[in-house]
Amino acid sequence: MILTIAISPSFFENSFAQQMSPHQQWKKFADVDMLTCKSGYLLIQKSNGNPACVMPSTYLKLVDRGYGFYNQSIMDKNPEMMNNFLNSMVSNENLMFHWHEMMQNDPIIMMETIDDWVLQIKNNPELLKNMLSPMTSDPELRKKMIHTMKSHPQMEIHLKSHLAWMDSIHQPMMGFGIGQGMHQSECTWCSHNEHNSMNSHGIMTSGSNKIMDMIHHVWINSEMNKDLHSMMLEDPSHMVIMSNQIMEPILYAVMDDEDLRGQMIELMLQHEDFMNSIRHENPAREH
């Protein structure tokens, strides 16, 4: 018995196209949607109309400087390219600054994004660890985090009634002898302690209209937006940027949820550097 398998002519065209340069493909097909690039590269149409395959970081620079154009159709037809493109966005500090800036300027966008983040965090507790990591590890972010926690009524009440928390902050610093290196300041969580005003930190830079237009195209695409939100929570570099720029709204959203608030406290109790930063001598134990 002889089996025959029908193979579409387009299969051979696509396989052949992968062996050609973008310029050669362009001359053969004259349709940008049919062009392909090697794995890891993104297809872009330059300002003169010619296609090119470039690294994701180069793609963003070309769009920013007006040397190339973002094409949603190309991304929609190439899932691998879309994934590489979104990953390059999330890991780009300047781009994410503008993304957060857009969120801050639109309360609806901010609410929708944070609601999505909180839902993903509730479904995957590991993401809460990832979010808290830069906040608890960096000394400056730690100060900002503590201030934000103290300004959240439910969180402050929760902490003051949490026996393990209150006992932990009155213990000697981990890794030090009794009485060595302990804080001499007043208890951070005592009711008479005044709140310290903290200034937010963030890079200040201007974005080109091309980049902002590209961000807008991604934002209004619900599928890409959802994927991007997931990548944001999983990407350590984005967590640092987010902590600098929009720590308060995301932390507030987490602390508003009783279950997440409890998980957050347990994670902080396990973080040695964070707990050391707020430990101090307990006057009740002095003799």
Interval 169-210: pLDDT, tens: 877 766 544 344 444 445 666 554 444 433 333 333 445 688
What is the predicted pLDDT for the residue at 187? Answer: 63
For the whole model, what pTM was predicted? Answer: 0.72
Residue 214 amino acid letter:
M
What is the predicted pLDDT for the residue at 46? Answer: 82
- The DSSP code sequence of 95-152 is HHHHHHHHHHH-HHHHHHHHHHHHHHHHH-THHHHHHHHHHHHSHHHHHHHHHHHHT-
User: Mean pLDDT across the chain, nearest whole number?
Assistant: 78
Instruction: Give the pair of three-digit tokens for residue 174.
Output: 């981990």
Identify the segments of the chain with pLDDT beneath 70.
1-34, 173-208, 280-287
Q: Cα 140 to the chain's mean position, in Å?
A: 19
Measure the CA–CA gap between 111 and 117, rounded to whole angstroms.
10
What is the predicted pLDDT for the residue at 195? Answer: 41
Instruction: Give the pair of three-digit tokens for residue 274.
Output: 């964070």
Q: What are phi and psi of 284, to 5 degrees?
A: -70, -20
Helix 222-234 to helix 236-256 angle, to the nearest 10 degrees? 100
Q: What is the dihedral of CA 148, 149, 154, 155, to 10 degrees?
A: 160
